[in-house]
Chain A
């Protein structure tokens, strides 16, 4: 029953992609940019688009939910709601009609982080649209990461940079919130600024980091480096296997 031979890839016994269509277990119909395709019922949206034979150029990046390249809008049959998801993370459903939104027009503010301070005026200067927020919650509803987007927009309005950082930490900048926002706010871009302001100004400094950087600059480790680099493989191996561990 085992299909994996020694040291060989962990491939499935029935791969839809390699086995052709007949190998797929169950097919359903989805509408990709309006056109119907039969795709495996268990596929992700990205898998379905590729199963349909499309070579994605825009609309795929990391393929694991980190990069935000594959933002997708979809509707399900008999349901008026516009739904959102990352194509690499969202499973297809029968009758789903979908469109990828690989790019959302938005203007990044240009700034010198050294000339800003972590307060509300940085937000006001760089992303003034934040203050157009009507607290409708559409951004939060549209976030495929399940983030409390509206809450971090409200925090930004108060100048609470730490809260913006914490609430937006997992943002993948897919852009779906800013596409759906009736106040035309560019939430993810503002959140990047807030995170940078937090890291730059609101962090607690690490005393030993500064000391370590200084020690390296002063050449404190040079003698030990020279010793290690002069060692032959055997001596080095001995030292390595005898080293203590924390």
Chain B
């Protein structure tokens, strides 16, 4: 239940609801959408990326001198777990055609397509369990131009406008033209899409969409897709080998500059294993667990940007690593679910963000960076936020409107996860609004790829959230679910074809030594060892007692000792 002192504000929400419901039933926007100039201003004044210390130049590597998100620059200016002389590459522990790093949506799609189209064997190495990925958590839906009033080119224009016209056009074309095919591919694998009576696929609006384009599986969209893909992957044990709790910690190269596999680390035994692979796909997802600018995150436990740092040390170029996505609606109350994702489908279905006086202050479906910035502005400049008992701020997201708009039972059927999330704390979202604030959600940038998921390193492919370019500096809702499906499939196709032709040279980890030299030459001083693998949420006094073995974090340091936040606060 909400604390007593919020009751007056909740009463105001009820008072304004009838008029807002009328407004929502009309065909005009409930609040004027921002024009280009208004968008620019709210971003510059309130988006966290625009704060003076949000960015800093990175001192090493392919993007040297470029301003990146400060925490990302810290991550890239870190030591490897390994030095080359520690690892014997003469007899790899495993050999495979295609090594897939990451067992989420992109990785599973790639394994299936490489097998189906090329007869290629894959090895999927993943940090936690298969499906422990942001894929599992996407709630509201996937964009795909499947309705009669829509077209892939309309989708293209929405995506590129939402990304402020900085998206790589060939990637956006690939995304939007493959969309309908992905809906069919997943349906044939057994994904149960929400449908209309006549069998057509149910579509809803998302932020920044000009057509209703959001296809969904209630509010378990990602869970449905992930479990279907994993189930299919596991139906082919002879072709797809799965190594769980075995994250990659470095890429292996050959003496001609091709990517040739990776070194895996066993989370249980702290052993390192070498994998020789004809082609390698990084499908490691994003970095929400770096808690950029101290934000809570919607991301899964393992989202620590591992792929970025591995690829960067090997020489891969990054793109748009100065841009972070904050989801407009993370939970702000109750404290136990702070930062949790409140799906954009709530707004797609008619939910409205309101200030403490129950008034609209922004068009509910602006692109995410605009919507998030407008919510921050309402809280910190206009004083329209409500403060929680623990000192967080939030604005209301009026969910009771949804059943009033669509009929009783709509929320129960379309938002079972959201309903369940809140009713545990005595809040019935059919009767009461949710209190929300932006939450760290998505890595807009990543390793630069082309439409075949190739990087500037032969043999190294990247797909999904780990890539940069597709979304420009702002991704629209539902385009990441489509992203990992489209580019996971494309990666399987192109990495599979490449694996059939390549002849690898002598394996090498010399790039690690070179990177270490570059760190020293650039005057970088850090104790950070990356990939970070897992965040630590132990209280500070516990962490003080967790002494590093032998006073040396290199090499083979346990994950307990790799903490970006600690490094930053000690610096």
Spell out A's residues near B (CB within 8 Å): 1-21, 42-44, 47, 50-58, 60-67, 69, 89, 91, 108, 110-113, 145-146, 165, 169-170, 172-173, 192-193, 195-200, 203-210, 212-213, 216, 221, 224-225, 228-229, 233, 236-237, 239-241, 243-246
B180–A213 touching, CB < 8 Å:
yes
User: In the complex, which of the residues B50, B132, B237 contacts A67, with contact meaning CB atoms closer than 8 Å?
Assistant: B132
Residues of the B chain whose Cβ atoms lie less than 8 Å from the Cβ of A3: 391-392
B152–A221 touching, CB < 8 Å:
yes
Distance in angstroms from B247 CB to nearest chain A CB is: 11
Distance in angstroms from B480 CB to nearest chain A CB is: 15
**How many Å lie between the Cα of A108 and that of B424 in the bound state?**
32
**Residue in A closest to B183 when the chains form the complex, CB atoms:** A209
**Residue in A closest to B541 when the chains form the complex, CB atoms:** A20
Distance in angstroms from B111 CB to nearest chain A CB is: 16
Between A and B, 25 residue pairs with Cβ closer than 8 Å are: A10-B332, A10-B439, A19-B539, A20-B540, A51-B538, A53-B538, A54-B538, A55-B560, A57-B534, A62-B132, A66-B417, A89-B424, A165-B192, A197-B190, A203-B199, A206-B201, A212-B146, A212-B180, A213-B181, A225-B177, A228-B169, A236-B165, A237-B165, A241-B36, A246-B149
A57–B132 touching, CB < 8 Å:
no
- Total B residues in contact with A, Cβ cutoff 8 Å: 116
**Residue in B closest to A108 when the chains form the complex, CB atoms:** B234
**How many Å lie between the Cα of A65 and that of B298 in the bound state?**
12
Max chain B CB contacts within 10 Å: which of A52, A196, A206? A206
**Residue in A closest to B170 when the chains form the complex, CB atoms:** A229
**Residue in B closest to A64 when the chains form the complex, CB atoms:** B340
Residues of the A chain whose Cβ atoms lie less than 8 Å from the Cβ of B391: 3-4, 11-14
Distance in angstroms from A110 CB to nearest chain B CB is: 5
**How many Å lie between the Cα of A178 and that of B109 in the bound state?**
29
Residues of the A chain whose Cβ atoms lie less than 8 Å from the Cβ of B190: 113, 195-200
Residues of the B chain whose Cβ atoms lie less than 8 Å from the Cβ of A7: 45-48, 50-51, 376, 380
**Residue in A closest to B145 when the chains form the complex, CB atoms:** A212
Q: Among residues 276 to 317 in chain B, which have CB atoms less than 8 Å away from a CB atom of chain A?
A: 293-296, 298, 300-301
A203–B298 touching, CB < 8 Å:
no
B160 on the A face (CB < 8 A): yes
Residues of the A chain whose Cβ atoms lie less than 8 Å from the Cβ of B170: 229
A51–B300 touching, CB < 8 Å:
no
A51–B539 touching, CB < 8 Å:
yes
**Residue in B closest to A23 when the chains form the complex, CB atoms:** B539
User: In the complex, which of the residues B187, B191, B220, B336 contacts A47, with contact meaning CB atoms closer than 8 Å?
Assistant: B336
B267 on the A face (CB < 8 A): yes
**How many Å lie between the Cα of A62 and that of B135 in the bound state?**
10
**How many Å lie between the Cα of A156 and that of B293 in the bound state?**
49
A216–B534 touching, CB < 8 Å:
no
A65–B417 touching, CB < 8 Å:
yes
Residues of the B chain whose Cβ atoms lie less than 8 Å from the Cβ of A198: 190, 192
Return the CB mask of B411-440 against A: 1 if under 8 Å, else 0: 000001100110010000000000001110
Q: Among residues 525 to 546 in chain B, which have CB atoms less than 8 Å away from a CB atom of chain A?
A: 534, 536-542, 546
Distance in angstroms from B182 CB to nearest chain A CB is: 10
Distance in angstroms from B71 CB to nearest chain A CB is: 12
Distance in angstroms from B468 CB to nearest chain A CB is: 19
**9 pairs of A and B residues whose beta carbons are closest in the complex:** A196-B190, A204-B199, A13-B391, A240-B161, A12-B390, A9-B294, A53-B542, A199-B190, A50-B537
Distance in angstroms from B121 CB to nearest chain A CB is: 17
Q: Among residues 170 to 209 in chain B, which have CB atoms less than 8 Å away from a CB atom of chain A?
A: 170, 173, 177-178, 180-181, 183-184, 187-193, 195, 198-201, 205
Q: A61-B129, A221-B177, A240-B165 are in contact. List 10 more A-B contacts (CB 8 A).
A: A4-B391, A7-B47, A10-B439, A12-B388, A17-B537, A47-B336, A55-B559, A57-B128, A62-B137, A66-B137
A2–B393 touching, CB < 8 Å:
yes
**Residue in B closest to A170 when the chains form the complex, CB atoms:** B416
Q: Among residues 331 to 377 in chain B, which have CB atoms less than 8 Å away from a CB atom of chain A?
A: 332, 335-338, 340-341, 376
Known: A10-B393, A199-B191. A206 touches B200 (CB 8 A): yes
Distance in angstroms from B556 CB to nearest chain A CB is: 16
Question: SS class of chain A's interface: helix, strand, loop or mixed?
Answer: loop
**How many Å lie between the Cα of A66 and that of B503 in the bound state?**
42
**Residue in A closest to B339 when the chains form the complex, CB atoms:** A10
**How many Å lie between the Cα of A51 and that of B424 in the bound state?**
22
B255 on the A face (CB < 8 A): no
B227 on the A face (CB < 8 A): yes
B335–A42 touching, CB < 8 Å:
yes
Known: A204-B195, A208-B146, A221-B177. A196 touches B420 (CB 8 A): no
B16 on the A face (CB < 8 A): no
Residues of the A chain whose Cβ atoms lie less than 8 Å from the Cβ of B188: 200
Distance in angstroms from A9 CB to nearest chain B CB is: 4
Residues of the B chain whose Cβ atoms lie less than 8 Å from the Cβ of A53: 538-539, 542, 546
Residues of the B chain whose Cβ atoms lie less than 8 Å from the Cβ of A12: 335, 338, 388, 390-392
Residues of the A chain whose Cβ atoms lie less than 8 Å from the Cβ of B180: 209, 212-213, 216
Distance in angstroms from B160 CB to nearest chain A CB is: 7
B392–A4 touching, CB < 8 Å:
yes
**How many Å lie between the Cα of A168 and that of B31 in the bound state?**
39
B128–A20 touching, CB < 8 Å:
no
**Residue in B closest to A57 when the chains form the complex, CB atoms:** B267
**How many Å lie between the Cα of A69 and that of B380 in the bound state?**
37
**How many Å lie between the Cα of A68 and that of B189 in the bound state?**
22
B228–A110 touching, CB < 8 Å:
no
Residues of the A chain whose Cβ atoms lie less than 8 Å from the Cβ of B224: 169, 195
**Residue in A closest to B235 when the chains form the complex, CB atoms:** A110
B539–A4 touching, CB < 8 Å:
no
Max chain A CB contacts within 10 Å: which of B129, B170, B232, B245? B129
Max chain B CB contacts within 10 Å: which of A44, A55, A229? A55
Distance in angstroms from B35 CB to nearest chain A CB is: 7
Max chain B CB contacts within 10 Å: which of A196, A197, A239? A196
**How many Å lie between the Cα of A26 and that of B193 in the bound state?**
45
Stretch from B91-99, B210-218, B482-490 forming part of the interface with A = B210-218
**Residue in A closest to B565 when the chains form the complex, CB atoms:** A18
A199–B542 touching, CB < 8 Å:
no
**How many Å lie between the Cα of A173 and that of B178 in the bound state?**
30
**How many Å lie between the Cα of A200 and that of B161 in the bound state?**
35
